[in-house]
Amino acid sequence: MNDDLFKKWRLQETALQRAVRELQPLQSIFADQERLARIVDPYRGVLEEATRTSRLIDQAFVPNGIDDLIARTSVASAVFPDIAERFRLPEMEALAGLQNSLTQPGIAEAISRYGLEMDIVSRAMADMKSPWLDFQNQLGSISALTELHGIGHVLATMPSFDDHVTAALRLDLGDWRGPLALDPSALLDQVARSEFYVARGFDPELTAFPVPAFRDGLASAGLYDAEMQADNRIDEEDAEAAFMRTNEAHDRLMRFEYRLRVFIDEAMTIAVGPDWIRHRVPEPMRTAWTGKKNRGLAAGEAEQPLIAYADFTDYVAIIIRKDNWRDVFGAMFQHKPSVEESFRRLYPVRICTMHARPITQDDALFLLVEIKRLSRTMGLF
């Protein structure tokens, strides 16, 4: 079998498995076919692409196509009959045996890399409330939970853009140095986005949990800030959990961007003066902001500060600009390439939220980690 084709199929299988986990709650409302079709529609491309690829390698991955899949009485049993049984919540007596796995080379390396104590991971396993252990890949589940806690630990205890933190995150989230080299429209496709993440070096096992377990793991690792947890309590049994996750991502990004604009404006005003945009923003960027502001005012919108019309990619351009970095931001962020990398990880998620595309668990992890890194450095919490 062609190696590239097989790799593509495996990536699509991962995306399809994730779609199945997220669609499992639909089983209780399968009588409402019209509502079901609306909810499943965002996953249609993932399933159809997997079907096309599977035919090329003579695999009956989705035997009769998406329409047959929608018509069945259970998404989970139609594609992976054992998916609901694979993940379990281990009994207390089994936890001691699982804790012995923390000495396995890959897991022990992660514990050392993130400066974790084994007791932290042991408690995390014991405190999980939702089925999280994949009995077909127990070490993978334990390793992923360990690494989530490791990420939470270094973000809580070390400077966000410390070289050690950046290097540790690259091993799990991928190396995002250098241009993205991908058309933004391609990021709207879940399969293409997953392939892109893995090609960058992202470890897909980090998010290979059922939805409730993934959220439990993030919360216990401290990757949800208390404010957003209180504002975004989501019932994971709801059939529209994927859409609610997208709404949550949109809310987080909008709050973050507002605070980021205020941060930049205040820092630059203190350092340069109230007319900083005229002196420290490139003319083409400033012209684009003015054009958007004028069009908004002509359409009857309320007037806002000029920086409110910035594009997402403009923020990092302002921060790393040579004179701004020297006079204002360098002392805060310390490492310019790491800041650029952080914004690059957020860019695909923002593209998807702005186009109302469902956010995957991979996207959610990037969002939480990078907003926390940037926010802590900016003193937002």
Q: List pLDDT tens digits, range 249-266.
A: 888 999 999 999 999 999
Closest to 130 in 3D by CA, of 210, 75, 204, 205? 210
Shared domain for 185 and 248, answered yes or no, is no
Shared domain for 32 and 52, answered yes or no, is yes
Shared domain for 366 and 278, answered yes or no, is yes
* Region of 178 on the Ramachandran plot (φ > 0 left; ψ -120 to 50 alpha; else beta): left
Regions of the chain where pLDDT drops below 70: 1-85, 225-243, 381
pLDDT score at 62: 40
Last residue of a domain, one of 47, 81, 115: 81
pLDDT score at 73: 32
Does 296 map to a domain?
yes
Q: Counting Cβ atoms within 10 Å, is residue 332 exposed (0-12), middle (13-18) or buried (19+)?
A: middle
Shared domain for 200 and 251, answered yes or no, is no
Does 71 map to a domain?
yes
Shared domain for 288 and 331, answered yes or no, is yes
pLDDT score at 326: 97
pLDDT score at 355: 83
Closest to 48 in 3D by CA, of 188, 189, 193? 189
Last residue of a domain, one of 204, 231, 258: 231
Dihedrals phi, psi of 378, to nearest 5 degrees: -80, 0
Does 109 map to a domain?
yes
Last residue of a domain, one of 231, 252, 268: 231
How many domains is the chain partitioned into structurally? Answer: 3
Does 236 map to a domain?
no
Shared domain for 38 and 158, answered yes or no, is no
Shared domain for 357 and 227, answered yes or no, is no
Domain hosting 36: range is 3-81
pTM (two decimals) = 0.77
pLDDT score at 310: 95
Q: What distance in Å separates the CA atoms of residue 363 and residue 209, rounded to the nearest whole number?
A: 14
Does 183 map to a domain?
yes
pLDDT score at 348: 93
Shared domain for 167 and 280, answered yes or no, is no
pLDDT score at 122: 93
